[in-house]
A and B are shown apart, each in its own frame.
Chain A
C-alpha cells in the first residue's frame, strides 16, 4: 500500500509569484484535503476535494485554489504569494471515514 506523497519537498518563492503543490493520495482513498501549518501552530484546513469537486473550504482567500484529478491526485495553487504564506503545506487523504485522514510529509514553502 502506497502512502500519501507530496512534491516538491521544499520551495522558495518571492512575493507576488504563483506556486503549484502536488499530492498523490493513498491507494484506495478518493478524498484529498489540504492544510496549512504555520510554525508552532496546528494545521489549518484550506479545502477538500472529493470526486474532482471542492467539498468544503476553510477561511482562505480565493487566491488559494485546487484541483483533483480522476486518479484522485490533487494540486494546490496559490497566486500572488504573500510573506505570510510561508508554511508547511500538508495534504491528507481519506476514504469514506473522513475523520481518518492520513497525511503526507508536506511541502515547506518559503516566500521571500
Chain B
C-alpha cells in the first residue's frame, strides 16, 4: 500500500464549477498535509498546508483533513481555466515530503 494515494484523473470541469480533489494516507502519525499545484513542465507551487484535522481556507481554495478516515481534500470554488494544472497532495514524515501521484485538472471555458 502506498503511503499517499491519489486518483490521477484527469478531471475535466466547466469554468465556474466546484472542484473536489482527494487523497488518502496510510499512517495515522502524519500531522502536516500539503497541497501543491504544478503547471506543465514547472516545479510544484505550495498552495496551502493544514496541521492535524480541520479546515483551512485561502481565497477560492479550502483544504480539509479528516484524520479519523485518513482522508484529505482540496476544494476549488468558482474554478477558472488558469486553475488547469496537476494538483499534488503531500504529507510530511521526519522532514521529508511524501507525495501522491497528482490529479490532472482541466477547466474548460
> A90 to chain B: which residues have CB within 8 Å?
43-44
B58 interface hit (Cβ, 8 Å): no
A sample of 22 cross-chain residue pairs with beta-carbon separation below 8 angstroms, ordered by A number, consists of A31-B95, A33-B96, A41-B101, A41-B102, A42-B6, A43-B88, A43-B97, A45-B97, A48-B95, A56-B96, A90-B43, A98-B92, A98-B95, A99-B32, A99-B92, A100-B34, A101-B46, A102-B46, A103-B45, A105-B43, A106-B43, A108-B41
A39 to B96, CA, bound (A): 21
Q: Does A62 contact B (CB under 8 A)?
A: no
Q: Flag whether B99 is at the interface (Cβ < 8 A).
A: yes
Report yes or no: A101 in contact with B97, Cβ–Cβ below 8 A: yes
Determine if A103 and B94 form an interchain contact, defined as CB atoms under 8 angstroms apart: no
Residues of A near any B CB (own CB < 8 A)? 4, 6, 31, 33, 35, 40-45, 48, 55-56, 58, 88, 90, 92, 98-106, 108
Q: Do the beta carbons of B42 and A105 come within 8 Å of each other?
A: yes
User: Which residues in A have their C-beta under 8 angstroms from that of B85?
Assistant: none
Contact residue among A4, A31, A40, A45 (Cβ-Cβ distance under 8 Å from B101)? A40
Size range of the interface on B?
Answer: 20 to 34
Q: Which 3 A-B pairs have the closest CB atoms?
A: A42-B99, A99-B32, A103-B43
Which residues of B in the span 54-102 have a Cβ within 8 Å of any Cβ on A?
A: 88, 90, 92, 94-102
Chain B residues with a Cβ under 8 A of chain A: 4, 6, 8, 32, 34, 36, 41-46, 49, 88, 90, 92, 94-102
Give the complex CA separation of A108 and B43 in angstroms. Answer: 11
Does A42 lie within 8 Å of B88, measured CB to CB? yes
Check B95 against A55 for contact (C-beta < 8 Å): yes
Of A6, A44, A48, A103, which contacts B44 at CB under 8 A? A103
Bound form: Cα–Cα A70–B43 in Å: 25
